[in-house]
Structures are given as C-alpha cells and as structure tokens.
Amino acid sequence: MDDDELFEIDLVPEFAFAATKFLYSEGGPVVCYDCDAVLAYLTTQEGMTHDAAIDYMDETMAEGGRFVWIHDIDLDVDLTPDDKPHLRLVH
C-alpha cells in the first residue's frame, strides 16, 4: 500500500471515541479499540454492570467488520537495577 493511497476505515460509531490505532492487512485496515475506555464509558456513562458491558460489546462488535480490542498489560516485574551493563554488543 502506498503512503498516499486512500482507504476506508469501518468504525463502529458508538465506540469511535475509543478507536486509537489501525493495522494494515491484506483485506484492508483493521481498527483497534481501547477496551478499557469502552468499558469505562459503558459502566459509568450508561450505567451498565461490568458483565452487561462485556455482553453489549460482544453483541455490538459481532454485527460485522474487523477489529481488535487493545488491552493494557500489567507486568509485576521485581527488578532491582544495578550498575552493570544491561546490553552487550556482539560483533
């Protein structure tokens, strides 16, 4: 795909605020939605329970289109840095 090529992105209008990125693929762009943002909106603004929000998201996104939910990962890494080199260059 050329950098100046135009293409359409299929957004779910209700969740468009949470569309953060998209991926290129052979079949066209795939929209990435921030899962936590959609959950927060549905639970705080729409008054849904967490389980009801998950069900609603599944139903809404099942209507078609290609998408990816983006999730943050929390890694609890117990690392104490030292003064030794952490990167070794090998020639």
Full-model pTM: 0.69
Query: How far is it, in rounded angstroms, from Cα 51 to Cα 56?
Result: 9
Query: How far is it, in rounded angstroms, from Cα 10 to Cα 63?
Result: 12
**pLDDT category of residue 9 using cuts at 50, 70 and 90:** confident
| Residues 13-60: tens digit of each pLDDT | 889 999 999 888 888 888 999 999 999 999 999 999 999 999 999 998
Provide the pLDDT for residue 6.
67
Edge-to-edge order in the sheet of strand 30-34: 19-23, 30-34, 67-70
